[in-house]
Every structure is written in structure tokens, then in C-alpha cells.
A and B are shown apart, each in its own frame.
Chain A
Amino acid sequence: MSILITPETKILIQGITGDFGGRHAKLSIDYGTQVVAGVTPGKGGQFFEHAGKKVPIFNSVKEAAVATGATVSAIFVPPPFAADAILECVEAELDLAVAITEGIPIKDMVRVKRVITGKKTRLIGPNCPGLVTPGTGEGSSGGCRIGIAPGYIHKKGHVGVVSRSGTLTYEAVYQLTTKGIGQSTSVGIGGDPVNGTSHLDVIKLFNEDPDTHGIILIGEIGGNAEVEAARWIKDNCKKPVAGFIAGATAPAGRRMGHAGAIVGGAEDTAAAKIAVFKECGIEVAATPSDMADALIRAAKAKGVTLS
């Protein structure tokens, strides 16, 4: 099993006719993902063609979902229209909306977050790489890839990876794969200060998933989401967890690429978060090269088999 998505999940892509959305739609189709619809207002009735597949395009998310049975959307629309695109998924009662778009105004997300609270649709992102549930084919193909992550670095298996950062997720996944350890699902929750799904939300899902045997939790400076997740893990999670926090050398008050990666006070520094990780029994990776090894150490200590 996996969390949130499986190889059978049917997805639609908002912004499939744009360069960015189109390029990644093709990569997802190549990976074996069930891309069943595209949505671009005004282009309904057209088709997105790739590798012998004809993906129908609809004017609205609701039409696309009703016609194709899609339950998940990958959102690639430009920042000024992205909040609206998310709300459209909520209205269509999709299971999951994954917002890849970077640069959405924070106020838009504050409003979106208020509207989606208590609704059926879960939001992942924005400003995130998306998620991958690896398949059994060559280069883990045959799985489900939503977003912009490289599918081929994955391997089907039993480790859950959750991170704010795209490339740091890839780094962790690749380390695992080269050591022969596969993943159940890798989830990038995004680098913005207001996002739909937190580290803790994903940790809870991994904890409940019988097929996930161990977890890598990757965080960064800013906010207290990692601390919240760590405290919950201490009390509730029996699975081995390895953690890494990026930004130990970041100067206070400067935004480090991600809008959310900014040290505001004493509590959201890398050192403070690492101290909480240790206190909560999370095996801390000393460097980003140590993430997979840290999980191997944590698994050994708990007598858990990862592969």
C-alpha cells in the first residue's frame, strides 16, 4: 500500500496546456500515472496528446471529474489564478488537490485555508514538488507521480518520506534507493508558510499505513510544524523515524528561497528543532548525506526491517 495515492488513482491536471503543466503531464504519463483529464478554461473539447494517449481537456474541474472519475488534481496554473484553481477542486469534492505553483500571495492562501477547513478535499502544497507512490516497473514506473518529482529515482518499498523541499526529498529518496531501500510514498508538502497539509498530517498517515515501516522527516528553519510533528511522534509513533533540518547556517530574518524558510525567533532555528527531534527519539541526520543512514540506524535500534 501507500498513502494518499496508488497506481490506480485517476488524476486530472489543471494547466495541462501550459508549458510547465504539459511537460510534467508527459512525464507522469510516461511513468504510468493514470492521467485521465486536463482542465483549461476555454479549451474544453480539445485533447492533450502524448505517447499515443489522448487526454480530454475540460473547461472546469467538476466537468472533468464527473466525466472521467478523476479524484485528484495536480495544479500548475500561474500564481494569480492558483488560489481559485484550488477552490475549484474543493467545490468539485475531489479527494486531493496538489498545488505545484510557486509564488502564490500569502493572503490568497490564508483565505483558501479558511475555506477548505472541514471540507472533503485535502490540499498538498502550494510551492511543492508533489508526491510519488512508486510502481513495480523499471525505474519504479507503473506508479503514480503527481507533480514535478523525478519518478525514476524511486523504488517501491516501505519507507515514507515527507519534506518541504523538492530537491532535498529527491536527495533522501535517491539515498534510500541506491541502498536498496524502497519507498511507500514520498510527499513534498511545500515551502510556503501557509500550506494545506502539514508534516504532522503526513506523519499520521504514514503511521497508520501498515506498508510503511519507517519514516524520514525533512524540515527546515521557520515555523513550528516540525516541532509539532516531533512531539506527536514521541507520544504516538512506534515506527523508526529519521529527521533532518536544513538551514543551520541561515542568517536570522532572511528568507532563504522558500517563503517559509525564515528564522523569526529562538524557537524556529535549526538548532532548536534538532534539539526537539533528539528529545522526541528521532534519529537526526548529521548532514543531508546521512538521511538514509540515519533511518537505517533508527530501524536497527527498533529491530525493524525497512526493505
Chain B
Amino acid sequence: MNIHEYQAKALFEKFGIAVPKGVPAKSAAEFDSALAQLPEGPTMVKSQIHAGGRGKGTFTDGFKGGVKFCKTKAEAKEIAGKMLNNTLVTLQTGPAGRKVQTVYFTVASDIKKEYYLAVLLDRATSRPVIVASTEGGVEIEKVAHETPEKITKIIIDPGYGVADFQVRQLISALGLTGAEAKNAAKLVQNLYRFFWETDASMVEINPLITTPAGEVLALDAKVSFDSNALYRHPEIVALRDLNEEDPKEIEASKYNLSYIALDGSIACLVNGAGLAMSTMDIIKHFGGNPANFLDVGGGASKDQVVAAFKIILGDPNVKGIFVNIFGGIMDCNVIAQGIVEAVKEVGLKLPLVVRLEGNNVAAGKKTLADSGLTIVSGDTMADAAQKIVKLVA
């Protein structure tokens, strides 16, 4: 689960991670009261959406930049009016963009130098890793690719936590001394504590900055949490912003379906994550384009199949459906009956190819054949994929 920058920074403050003073506003009526809490002078206005690349983004009405520097609070108010309720398109939002429903005003800090700091899981060691770089404010992937020597990684023993000597190594690699070093050390310790105690899966500060006064501040904040651990963090669940999520994905999660919208025309309904991913792949292999990832899980029920069909058909780009079920334990006939009922209930008019394999498959195929519906049967994944690609072409 992702949260907004302003929410992340509010949590940061609770953990003693220094941030520039800021106040969010969700409507134009809140601009004055929000700005009144900040000192007069240079102010940043930042669009709050769950996507990166905001600064270089463009609004659909042509206004450029989702993050703006303003010399005065009056200017900040004017700019905020142009961002709020406007739709911001960035490299990460896709062409449809995201509607900005919150703007965040912050004091514009004097920047001495920008750095990069993050905590995430190192999969190779199964331990948390702190990643830092002297190259802040740019994409870390680019730094890793072009100048890997500028990235420092410190693996944390989860039984001990961050050791002081490790923090010293990190600070030294960043070339910080004096008050900056002291403030940075405190920030690193607190950031790790935040990562660990909130069950975050990733915390990224890009850029982390030093100021001429020796402060070390998180100028931006990107945080995501492990959704498996949300049950023990109701305070974080409360920060979820459904406006930032695909309504179809929200609907799917109500039925324990794992759904991700893509931009192709062939919808898939599959059991198992690995099989669902490879069903998308095989569609592409034979020249089609998958419209979604959809995993109905190991024990798909009729209700789930019906819900899945409705969600799939809610996507106007869908021109055909590929159902791929390996019924290992599940009875294929039960699945087949679910498909037939679902098709009847939703009144399907699009081509449908079903590949059923596994337990009681002969009865399942007979149910599909006897249903009177135009369901094309595929014998193998490859056979079925070729059939659906041909039908939507």
C-alpha cells in the first residue's frame, strides 16, 4: 500500500525524521488557513498523487510542472489553484494521468547539496538494506547503472538493528562532517526504526538535503507498506486513498481476486499467479495483447468467476476473453458450471476461449459444450492462446 508524500512526512515527524515544515490542503477554501501556518517567503507547492516524476509532469490543460517553487505565499496560492482538481500526467501515471485532490505547501528550503537515502528489503540476503548516494534528486536506477561506485549499501542484521559503526560508514561515504554528520546519523537511525516498526516495504528520500545551516532534511518522501502486515497497523490503513487506486482493482479485492489492469484487448481469467502471468505472456507471444492480470486463486468459486467476468467486462478495451484454469484440486466441472452461469448472467457477446485442464476435465468440457453458448475450447495453453488472438484480430 502506498501513501502520499504529505502523509509520509507526517509519519516521519513522529519518528524524529526532519522535514521542511508543510501543510496539505484538499480544497481552495483551505489554502489560506494552510498557508497561514507557514512563514512568509519562498514556498513550494506540490501535487499529491501516488506517482513519481511530478516535477516534470504536465497537466492535461497544458499547465507544466506538478511541483513548483514560488517566491511568495500569494504566488503559491495562485499556483495551487491551478493544480488542485487538475489532472497531472507524468512518466509513471500513463497517458490518462491522475487527478490532484490534495496540494501540499512547504517551506522552500535552502539547498546546499542533494543526496539519496532509502531503506528496503535486500532479497539476496533476506535482510533490510540502507541505500545511500551522493547523487540525489536524480533517478537512483540511473546512478546504479552509470556510476555504481557512488552508491553505498549497508545490510542490516534484523536481530540487532542498525549498528552505530554502520551509520558512521554511511555518513563517511556521503562525505558529511560536523553538524551535518550528527544530524544525518540521527536521521538514518530514525528512518530505519520507521521502516522496521511500520512494516514498510520501502522508504525512499530523494532528495535528502543539507542546508547552509547544517540541517539534514527529507525534501521528498516515498513510502510503501507490506500489505500482508496491514492487519497490525490500523493507523496506516486509515491513510489509504482509494482515489489513487483503480476502481476495478478495488472491486476485485472484495472478492479476493488479484486484478491488475493493462492496456491490451484480451482479458484473462486464470487460477494462480504464475499461470496468470504466463497466460499474459503467451497471448503476447502469439501476437495479441493482454488487457489484464487476473488471478482467481486456488479455489475459484462460482461467485468469484461471476465477479471476475463483470470486472473484466467493465474494461471497454476488452474484445475477447481467455479463461485458463488448471483445476488441480478443484473440480473442472464446477468451474465450467461457474463459467456458464457467469456468461448467462452477464450476457456475454465477446468471443470466449476456455482452456480447462485437470480434475474431472471431461465433464467440464461437456458442460461447456452442452451449454448452448458459443464457447471455444482450447486443448493446451498454446492452442487456446492462438484461438483467442485470432478471434479478436
Q: Which residues of A contact B (CB under 8 A)?
A: 27, 79-80, 103-111, 113-115, 148-150, 152-153, 163-171, 174, 191, 193-194, 218, 220-225, 228, 244, 246-251, 253-254, 256-261, 265-266, 270, 286-290
B258 at the interface (CB under 8 A from A): yes
The answer to whether A168 and B144 touch across the interface, beta carbons within 8 angstroms, is no
B359 at the interface (CB under 8 A from A): yes
Picked from B124, B228, B278, the residue with its CB within 8 Å of the CB of A106 is: B228
Q: Which residues of B contact A (CB under 8 A)?
A: 92, 121, 123-124, 126-128, 141, 144-145, 157-159, 196, 199, 201, 226, 228-229, 231-232, 258, 260, 262, 270-285, 290, 293, 295, 298, 326, 328-329, 357-359, 380-383, 385
Alpha-carbon gap, A290 to B285, bound state (A): 12
The answer to whether A107 and B381 touch across the interface, beta carbons within 8 angstroms, is no
Given A220-B274, A257-B276, A290-B382, are A171 and B326 neighbors across the interface (CB < 8 Å)? yes
The answer to whether B228 and A165 touch across the interface, beta carbons within 8 angstroms, is no
Alpha-carbon gap, A170 to B271, bound state (A): 12
Picked from A110, A222, A265, A289, the residue with its CB within 8 Å of the CB of B128 is: A110
The answer to whether B280 and A250 touch across the interface, beta carbons within 8 angstroms, is yes
Smallest CB-CB separation from A152: which chain B residue? Answer: B359
The answer to whether B326 and A257 touch across the interface, beta carbons within 8 angstroms, is no
User: Which B residues are in CB contact (< 8 Å) with A167?
Assistant: 270-272, 274-275, 298, 326, 328
* 6 A–B contacts, CB within 8 A, in A order: A111-B158, A174-B326, A218-B274, A250-B293, A257-B274, A266-B145
Smallest CB-CB separation from A253: which chain B residue? Answer: B92
Query: Chain B nearest CB: distance from A218 CB in Å?
Result: 7
Alpha-carbon gap, A266 to B226, bound state (A): 23
The answer to whether B326 and A246 touch across the interface, beta carbons within 8 angstroms, is no
The answer to whether B126 and A194 touch across the interface, beta carbons within 8 angstroms, is yes
User: Which A residues are in CB contact (< 8 Å) with B279?
Assistant: 288
Given A194-B126, A287-B285, are A256 and B328 neighbors across the interface (CB < 8 Å)? no
The prevalent SS among residues of B at the interface is: mixed
Question: Which of the listed residues A150, A225, A228, A246 has the most CB atoms from chain B within 10 Å of its own CB?
Answer: A246
The answer to whether B121 and A193 touch across the interface, beta carbons within 8 angstroms, is yes
Given A220-B277, A250-B277, A287-B381, are A257 and B258 neighbors across the interface (CB < 8 Å)? yes
The answer to whether B272 and A168 touch across the interface, beta carbons within 8 angstroms, is yes
Picked from B145, B274, B385, the residue with its CB within 8 Å of the CB of A164 is: B274
Alpha-carbon gap, A114 to B128, bound state (A): 11
Picked from A79, A111, A168, A228, the residue with its CB within 8 Å of the CB of B278 is: A168
The answer to whether B274 and A191 touch across the interface, beta carbons within 8 angstroms, is yes
User: Which B residues are in CB contact (< 8 Å) with A104?
Assistant: 228
User: Which B residues are in CB contact (< 8 Å) with A27?
Assistant: 329
Alpha-carbon gap, A270 to B278, bound state (A): 11
The answer to whether A166 and B272 touch across the interface, beta carbons within 8 angstroms, is yes
The answer to whether B281 and A246 touch across the interface, beta carbons within 8 angstroms, is yes
Alpha-carbon gap, A286 to B328, bound state (A): 23
Alpha-carbon gap, A82 to B340, bound state (A): 38
Alpha-carbon gap, A164 to B285, bound state (A): 22
4 further A-B contacts with Cβ under 8 Å, apart from A110-B158, A191-B274, A261-B273, are A109-B126, A165-B275, A168-B272, A265-B144
Alpha-carbon gap, A287 to B382, bound state (A): 7
Picked from A149, A166, A256, the residue with its CB within 8 Å of the CB of B293 is: A256
Picked from B144, B159, B293, the residue with its CB within 8 Å of the CB of A257 is: B293
The answer to whether B326 and A193 touch across the interface, beta carbons within 8 angstroms, is no
The answer to whether A259 and B228 touch across the interface, beta carbons within 8 angstroms, is yes
Question: Which of the listed residues B127, B128, B157, B229 has the most CB atoms from chain A within 10 Å of its own CB?
Answer: B229
User: Which A residues are in CB contact (< 8 Å) with B380?
Assistant: 289
Smallest CB-CB separation from B263: which chain A residue? Answer: A251
Alpha-carbon gap, A168 to B324, bound state (A): 12
Alpha-carbon gap, A298 to B381, bound state (A): 22
The answer to whether A247 and B277 touch across the interface, beta carbons within 8 angstroms, is yes
